[in-house]
Amino acid sequence: MPETLKNVPSPLIRKLDEKAARHDTLRESLNDPAVLSNPQQMIRITKEMGQLDAVVGRYREYQKAAKTIDDLREMSQSKADREMADLAATELPDAENKANQLLENLKDELLAAEDNAVDSFFLEIRAGTGGEEAALFGRDLFEMYHRYCDHHGWKFEVSDASTSERGGLKEAIIHITGRGAYRHLHFEGGGHRVQRVPETEAQGRIHTSAATVAVLPELQDVKIDINPKDVEEFGCRGGGPGGQNVNKVETGWRLFHKPSGLQFKMTEHKSQTQNKERAWALLRATLYEAEQAKQHAAISSTRKTMIGSGDRSQRIRTYNFPQNRCTDHRLGGDTGGEKNFNLEQIVQGNMEPLISALIELDKQQRLENL
C-alpha cells in the first residue's frame, strides 16, 4: 500500500478494498462456463459490475495518484541528484492537490454507488392533520416532486391516488425510476408541515397542516417472507383518465396484509397481472421499510441518527408561505448546512440547493459511521 493511503481513514480504505475485490471476483466469474451458459446469472453479474465500475475505477486512479506522491516525496529528498530533487519538490503540490480531489470524488462515488443500486422506488404521499388543507398540501408536494423528476428526466408513474372534494390529494403512490433518483429523493421520507392562509379561510388567518412522505426502495434481491394465507387479494376496477377500461373492467388489483393491516390498490397498468405484481412489490417494500426501521431504532442509541431514516413520525421540513421560506430541520446549526431556502423555488421543483445540502450532510454522517 502506498504510504499516502495510510493517512486515509482505515474504514474507508477497507470499504474500497472490499468493492475492488468484489469487482475482481465478478469479472473472473464471467470466464466460468457455467455462468456463461446462464443468461439470468450473466445479467445479474453484469449489472452488479456496472454498479461498481465507477467507484472501483476511481479508487484505482487514486491508488496511482497516491503512489506518484510517494515517489515524488522520495525523489525530493534525494541528495544524489539535486536538480531532480528540486523538480520533484516543484511537482509535489500539484500531485497532492490532484490526489485530494480524487479522494473527495471517490467518497462521493462510494456513497452514490450504494444509493444508485436502487433502480426504482415507491414514493407515498399521505395527507395528515388539517383536513382539506392537508389534502391540498399533499397535492402541492405531488406537483413539486413531479416537476423535480421532470427536470432530471426520471420516470414518474402514478400507481394509485385518492383525491379530495377540492382537488387535493388524500393519498398518492408514485413509482419512480431513473439513475440517481433514489440518491436524491430518499431524504424526503418523514413529516412535512405547511403554514399558510387556506383558500377557505375568510379571516386571513394562517393555518398549520401536515402530510407524510415515505420512500420505499424496490429491491429485487431482498427476500421478505410473506405467508400467502396472511394476504387477501382480489381484482378491482381500474382508474385514471379516459380509456375504455376505466371503471368498466377489473384491471386493478387490491391487497390486504392481515398481520400488519396494510392495504394497497394498484390501477396504474391496463394489465391486471402487472398491477398485481406492482401491488406485491409495494407490500414487500413496505414490510422491508418496517424491518429497517426496527433495526434503525435498535442502533440509534449507540450512534448518530442518519438523516435518511425516513421515519414518517419525524417532522423534517416546514413550508412557510407567508415568509416564502422552506426550512429543513435537519440542516443548520453545527451541521454547517443552510437551513432556509426560497419556498417559491422549491415548490416549483427547483430543489437542487436543498437536496445538495442534504446529500453533503448525509455524506459526512455516513463517512463517520463506516
- Domain 228-298: give its CATH code: 3.30.160.20
Q: Measured between alpha carbons, how far is residue 210 from residues 65, 102, 132, 133, 312 in Å?
A: 51, 42, 11, 9, 11
Residue 353 has pLDDT above 90, yes or no: yes
Using CA atoms, how far apart are residues 210 and 344, in angstroms rounded to an integer? 18
Give tens-digit pLDDT for 79-126: 888 889 889 899 999 998 999 899 888 888 887 777 777 888 999 999
pLDDT of residue 7: 63
Residue 302 has pLDDT above 50, yes or no: no
Could you give the 3-state DSSP secondary structure of residue 242? coil
Set of cell numbers at residue 325: 421560506
Range picked from 97-106, 221-230, 343-352 for highest mean pLDDT: 343-352
Q: pLDDT confidence of 178, banded at 50, 70, 90?
A: very high
Residue 244 has pLDDT above 60, yes or no: no
The CA-CA-CA angle for residues 220, 105, 218, to 5°, reads 15
Residue 67 has pLDDT above 70, yes or no: yes
Q: How many CA atoms lie within 13 A of 88 on its CB side?
A: 17
Q: Give me the mean pLDDT over the 187-193 stretch.
A: 93
**pTM of the prediction?**
0.70
Pairing outcome for strands 340-342 and 120-127: unpaired
- Domain 120-222+308-368: give its CATH code: 3.30.70.1660
Give tens-digit pLDDT for 18-44: 999 999 999 999 999 888 888 888 988
Q: Give me the mean pLDDT over the 224-245 stretch.
A: 68
| Helices and strands counted in the chain (H then E) | 9, 11
